[in-house]
Structures are given as structure tokens and as C-alpha cells.
Amino acid sequence: MRLPALLLCTLAAFAQTPDTVFLEELTWTEVRDSLSAGRTTLIIPTGGTEQNGPHMVLGKHNFRIRHTSNRIARQLGNALVAPVMAYVPEGGLNPPEGHMNYAGTITLPDEVFRKVLEYAARSARLHGFKNIVLIGDSGPNQPGMQAVAAQLNKEWAGTGVRLHHIPEYYRGNGFDEWLAAQGESKEAIGTHAGIQDTSLLMAVDLKLIRRDKLANARNPKATGVTGDPTRATVVYGRKGLDMIVDTTVRRIRQSIAAR
């Protein structure tokens, strides 16, 4: 008895391991086999759920770092990517601090953030990952990642497993300087939801931008924006993503080679 062509195609699709680097899209046996094949680097990306002005979605950091982590892992060739940590330090609750003054932002105490990172890394080590990479798309994430890397590297000295915090993913990739070289002012580039931030998310997915809400940050306290997102472009964003990915891949390779 011959099976219908549609059913054969469906069965074939079910049988295939997906072309993915994301841990959560694999079965445990597929991860086991990837480790056996030498895919022993795991990227742990941290994002955030915070206000990004009236024109950008709260998940900006999460969408952005999922995009870049995929590209980074594929360029490395031997890496998988853990689920994005979407809850990170965003400021105090009582009284509300920073982004916590804006609806939808979710915060964690720094010590809780560090514990989640620590146990994600401990889990990765248990299963056989040798190089565990911490990258963060938000500034407040950086101290916690640095501290956890220092703590576990001290504990794991001589075991062949190492954490690599790569701060250049967030600062030191040259994108702000490149924007300035295009004639954009420091004020327009901004520090939150301005040209830089908005352009990067535009290049990831335009549906995450509310074009009718783009406005120069004339009242940062009211809007949560510092900079001029009206000058953001997809072209800028693509260049920035390329710079972030290329810089991060280079620094990961350097850090692994220096162990």
C-alpha cells in the first residue's frame, strides 16, 4: 500500500532534526549528540523587559539578542544558544526607579539575576559544555554577568570548563562611533530608544516599531526616550547588527584561545 505524497512529506518533516542553534528547539538526545560531535560552546543571552519609548516594544532586548545570538552561534560553528533571559535588573520597586516608572517593565533584584545565571551555567557544565558564553543586550546586566563569570571561573579552575563574559557585545563594538562618523550627533544617537536602539530593532523586525509614535525626545521623563528615533533607519540597524555580531564572534574566539 502506497502512502499519499502529502503524508510522506509530513512524516519526513517530523523525522528531520531542525536546522537550529536554539537549545529549546532541540530534543535532549539531539543536544547530547551535538555535544558528542564537538558542539561544546553554549551562549547564554540576557535581554530584558522594559519600556523603550512609545515607539518600541517592551521586548526590544529579547528580540534583538535572539537575532544576534543565532548569527553568533552559526558563525562560531560549534555553539548552541540557551533561552533568552527576559527578566533582568531594571531598578527598584519602592520607590520605583528608572524604567520601573513606566508600565510593563519587569525587574529582578541583582542577586536573583546572578543566581539564575549561575545555575544556568552550572546546568550547562553538568551536561558537558566546556565554554559558556555570557552576553547581554542591556547595561544593568553587565555587572552581574561579570561577577558570575569571575565566581565560577575561580571555582572551576583546572576543570576544563570556563565562563566567558563578553562585554563588547554591548559596549565596544564601534556602532556609536560609526553613527557619529555618519554625521549623527551624540544627542540624537541617544542612550535609550534613540537612533542606535531604534535602528537595531528596525533591522530585526519592523513590526516591532510603532512608526506613528516616532518622535524626538524633547521630554525624556515623559516619554522614556533619550535621543532622536526619527533619524533611525534599517540601513543603520543592519550595519550595527553586523558590527555587534562580528565583534562578539572575534572576542569569543580570543577568549577561548586565551584559556
Which residue ranges form the domains of the chain, and what is each CATH number? 19-172+245-257 (3.40.50.10310)
104 has a pLDDT exceeding 90: yes
Tens digits of per-residue pLDDT, 166-176? 999 999 999 99
Distance CA 6, CA 210 (A): 40
Distance CA 22, CA 42 (A): 10
CB within 8 A of 111, min separation 6: which ones?
A: none
Three-state DSSP class for residue 100: helix
The pLDDT of residue 8 is 52
Q: Which of 31, 9, 33, 65 is nearest to 197 (CA)?
A: 65
Tens digits of per-residue pLDDT, 201-251? 999 999 999 999 998 878 889 999 999 999 999 999 999 999 999 999 999
Q: What is the DSSP string of 3-46?
A: PPHHHHHHHHHHHSPPS--BGGGS-HHHHHHHHHTT--EEEEEE
Distance CA 47, CA 60 (A): 8
83 has a pLDDT exceeding 80: yes
The pLDDT of residue 2 is 64
Interval 152-176 mean pLDDT: 97
Identify the DSSP state of 220: H
Classify burial at 77, counting beta carbons within 10 Å of its beta carbon; exposed 0-12, middle 13-18, buried 19 or more: exposed
Q: Which amino acid is at 189?
A: I
The pLDDT of residue 93 is 95
pTM listed for this prediction: 0.93
Bigger pLDDT: 115 vs 1: 115
